[in-house]
């Protein structure tokens, strides 16, 4: 890197920071979709409770719940990892 290049330009070209930003974007999307599936499972449960449970409704509730938490578990952990890495970079003056 040239000496006159600003720190902002170096940060914008850093492959680690670029990858971290992509991971943050995908974890945000996975969080939103995951919570949407959890909300869907709750809504399906309430509908099934009001109308009457049957095997189809129970299956739909379980599938929506499993999909939601399958998306949420890794996305929450990766989101925390990205936040911790950003915090460490700030503390170390990068």
- Please report, for residues 9, 46, 56, 74, 82, the alpha-carbon distance to residue 88 in angstroms, rounded to integers and kept in the order given: 20, 44, 48, 21, 10
CA pair distance 31, 63, nearest whole angstrom: 17
Burial zone of 37 (CB within 10 Å; 0-12 exposed, 13-18 middle, 19+ buried): buried
In the predicted structure, residue 1 carries a pLDDT above the cut 60:
no
Tokens of 11: 């940060």
The pLDDT > 70 percentage for the chain reads: 88
Give tens-digit pLDDT for 32-50.
999 999 999 999 999 999 9
| DSSP category for residue 2 | -
């Amino acid at each position: 890197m040239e000496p006159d290049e600003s720190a902002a330009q170096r940060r914008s070209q850093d492959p680690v920071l670029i990858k971290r930003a992509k991971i943050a974007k995908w974890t945000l999307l996975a969080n939103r979709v995951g919570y949407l599936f959890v909300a869907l499972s709750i809504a399906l449960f309430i509908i099934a409770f009001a109308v009457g449970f049957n095997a189809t409704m129970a299956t739909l509730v379980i599938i929506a719940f499993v999909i939601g938490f399958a998306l949420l578990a890794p996305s929450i952990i990766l989101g925390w990892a990205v936040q911790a890495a950003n915090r460490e970079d700030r503390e170390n003056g990068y």
